[in-house]
């Protein structure tokens, strides 16, 4: 074959085009599968957390079983996942995320040394959140249940930084415990910020 014939020959052009397009297409495909796994995992996690929160609001609750049910639900979707759970109980919905009341004499929105406060959860210190940490609450209490799931994606996208090789998903559910008894009354004591 002469040089002129070689320049006009189009045999094998498709192979060259495929070699250019294939890596980009595969990268896009892996990226879509990675995002799909994350979105599906978030959906399954949210459903499992809501179901566990409902189960935990009953008198016959077992919070360890509820936490295990979340892990059992999410494990097939996110292999190798680890979860962290937390429960915070409140007297009613108005207390969720509320700080303990204090006399902010200098109006700087900080409980400064010497300012007095009402210790609503009776732990001896002023708290930014009045809730009882690590508590499933008693009858009629409002409970905020949070689950954080950490996992390594099945379809790890190439060329991304190492810090993105581990993903974290979170889900929260707020429920009110069933009225299976009288709600424990919360008391308060006076305190002074330090």
CB 52 within 8 A of CB 67: yes
Give residue 1's pLDDT band: very low, low, confident or very high (50, 70, 90): low
Specify which residues 82 forms β-bridges with: 150
What digits encode the pLDDT tens for the residues 172-190? 999 999 988 877 767 777 7
- Select the highest-mean-pLDDT range: 17-21, 32-36, 43-47: 43-47
Report the share of the chain in percent with pLDDT over 90. Answer: 44
CA distances 125 to 49, 115, 178, 186, Å, are: 31, 12, 30, 16
27: helix, strand or coil = helix
For the question of whether the overall pTM of this predicted structure is more than 0.75, the answer is yes
CB 116 within 8 A of CB 191: yes
Give residue 169's pLDDT band: very low, low, confident or very high (50, 70, 90): very high
H/E element, 173: strand 167-176
Q: What are phi and psi of 87, to 5 degrees?
A: -130, 135
pLDDT given at position 44: 98
What digits encode the pLDDT tens for the residues 63-74? 999 999 999 999
What is the rounded (10 degree) CA torsion for 114, 117, 123, 124? 30
> Domain limits of the chain?
12-192
What digits encode the pLDDT tens for the residues 131-168? 888 988 888 999 999 999 999 988 877 777 777 788 99
* CA atoms in the 13 A half-sphere facing the CB of 58: 10
Q: Cα–Cα distance between 85 and 139 in angstroms, integer?
A: 21
Q: Identify which of 85, 101, 106, 91 has the alpha carbon closest to the alpha carbon of residue 173.
A: 85
Q: Identify which of 172, 133, 131 has the alpha carbon closest to the alpha carbon of residue 149.
A: 172
């Amino acid at each position: 074959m002469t040089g002129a014939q070689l320049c006009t020959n189009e045999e094998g052009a498709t192979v060259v085009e495929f070699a250019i397009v294939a890596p980009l297409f595969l990268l896009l495909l892996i990226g879509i599968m990675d995002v799909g796994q994350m979105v599906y995992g978030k959906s399954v996690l949210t459903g499992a957390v809501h179901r566990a929160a409902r189960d935990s609001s009953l008198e016959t609750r077992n919070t360890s079983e509820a936490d295990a049910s979340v892990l059992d639900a999410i494990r097939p979707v996110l292999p190798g996942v680890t979860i962290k759970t937390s429960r915070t109980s409140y007297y009613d919905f108005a207390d969720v995320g509320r700080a303990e009341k204090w006399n902010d004499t200098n109006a700087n929105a900080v409980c400064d040394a010497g300012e007095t406060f009402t210790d609503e959860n009776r732990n001896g210190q002023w708290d930014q959140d009045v809730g009882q940490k690590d508590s499933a609450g008693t009858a009629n209490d409002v409970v905020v249940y949070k689950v954080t799931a950490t996992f390594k994606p099945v379809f790890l996208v190439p060329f991304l930084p190492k810090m993105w090789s581990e993903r974290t998903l979170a889900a929260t559910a707020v429920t009110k415990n069933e009225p299976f008894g009288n709600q424990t009354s919360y008391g308060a004591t006076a305190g002074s910020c330090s």
